[in-house]
């Protein structure tokens, strides 16, 4: 059975292990996440939990979203996400940070930072051309688009300049270093996607 919780990225810091080593960690405000709906194989064809996060006012939600919370008898939440293959909870219960323990391995998903319109060097890590006489002014351009006569077009999926970031990214197999139930905090070793204050989902790792 997999476990998951919705959280908010607070930022990065460092803690010291018992042997004195410095461990870089990301602090995540994890939960509490009320269970809004329980999906089962019999009724829905698959098992899942629908979790809420961050309480909000009724006026900030649409009528369809608000109806789900009223049906479950749960206070309206800003975030509503579905988590697959998570069992053992009923409607109205809360998933808290203690669903995970120190030493467990998790996958963290979130929306990556936005970098605006970026060139091929920044976006795709391509090399620049030689900065010598006769080369410029094309040092940072993408290079050849292909032959003129055949295929007479640019192939699909060619790495070109464009919008960079603001996409769903998952970092796998990270270690939970510490869990603070009183502060609803989970400390994950290393960096996770997204800017400070962004919404992330912590799941049991698939690896």
**Rounded CA separation 163/172 (Å):** 24
- Per-residue pLDDT, 108: 94
Q: What is the mean pLDDT of the chain?
A: 90
Total count of residues recorded for the chain: 207
Alpha-carbon distances, residue 48 vs 40, 160, 186, 205 (angstroms): 7, 39, 23, 17
**Rounded CA separation 4/86 (Å):** 7
- Cα angle: 112, vertex 116, 119; to 5 degrees: 105
Label residue 152 by pLDDT band (50, 70, 90): confident
DSSP state of 102: T
Label residue 164 by pLDDT band (50, 70, 90): very high
How far the first Cα of the chain sits from its last, in Å, is: 14
Assign domain 4-113+168-204 to its CATH architecture. Beta Barrel (2.40)
- Per-residue pLDDT, 90: 84
**Rounded CA separation 25/30 (Å):** 14
Contacts of residue 58, Cβ cutoff 8 Å, sequence gap at least 6? 66, 76
Label residue 25 by pLDDT band (50, 70, 90): very high
**Rounded CA separation 60/53 (Å):** 14
Q: What are phi and psi of 172, to 5 degrees?
A: -95, 155
Tracing tokens 């002014």 back to the chain, one arrives at 137
pLDDT digits (tens, 9 = 90+) for 76-124: 899 999 988 888 888 888 888 888 888 899 999 999 999 999 999 999 9
Q: What is the mean pLDDT of residues 61-87?
A: 88
Is the per-residue pLDDT at 1 higher than 80? no
The number of helices, as runs of H, and strands, as runs of E, in the chain is 3, 12
């Amino acid at each position: 059975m997999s476990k998951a919780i919705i959280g908010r990225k607070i930022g990065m810091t460092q803690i010291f292990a018992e042997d004195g080593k410095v461990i870089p960690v990301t602090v995540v405000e994890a939960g509490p996440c009320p269970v809004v709906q329980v999906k089962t194989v019999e009724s829905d064809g698959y098992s899942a939990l629908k979790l809420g996060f961050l309480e909000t006012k009724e006026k900030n939600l649409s009528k369809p979203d608000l109806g789900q919370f009223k049906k479950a008898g749960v206070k309206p939440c800003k975030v509503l996400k579905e988590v697959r293959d998570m069992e053992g909870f009923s409607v109205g219960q809360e998933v808290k940070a203690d669903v995970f323990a120190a030493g467990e391995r998790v996958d963290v998903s979130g929306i990556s930072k936005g970098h605006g319109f970026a060139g091929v060097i920044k976006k795709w890590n391509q090399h620049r051309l030689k900065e010598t006489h006769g080369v410029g002014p094309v040092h940072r351009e993408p290079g050849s688009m292909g032959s003129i006569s055949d295929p007479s077009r640019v192939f699909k999926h060619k790495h070109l300049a464009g919008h960079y970031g603001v996409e769903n990214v998952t970092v796998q197999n990270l270690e939970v270093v510490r869990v603070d139930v009183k502060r609803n905090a989970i400390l994950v070793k290393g960096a996770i996607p997204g800017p400070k204050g962004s919404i992330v989902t912590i799941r049991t790792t698939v690896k």
